[in-house]
Amino acid sequence: MLRTCQYSEAAFTPTAALPAPVRDAVNAAFIDALHLALRCGSAALAAAALLVALLLRPQRGVAPSPADGRPAPQPEAAQR
């Protein structure tokens, strides 16, 4: 015969043995830790994006040299 358990599954969770105020404090600390992890992760992602943007921006005052050795063509003056 199959025996059924008279206790609910929630009765065997590790926090079920704790008093209600302690359980609430543990749950609040867990949520706070998740929020902190999200904030740290988003700050790290923003810092990485800023670093990539700074490293990939074009350099000022440096003209790329042509590959075949000829001087780069100069823009013509506007006709009046």
Q: How far is the CA of 16 from the CAs of 5, 19, 25, 26, 28, in angstroms?
A: 17, 8, 13, 12, 16
3-state secondary structure of 7: coil
Instruction: Give one DSSP letter per residue of 3-20, joined into a string.
Output: PPPSS-GGGGSGGGGS-H
Tokens of 24: 């609430």
pTM: 0.51
Residue located via tokens 């008279």:
6
What tens digit of pLDDT does each residue of 33-77 get? Answer: 999 999 999 999 999 999 999 999 988 876 666 666 666 667 776
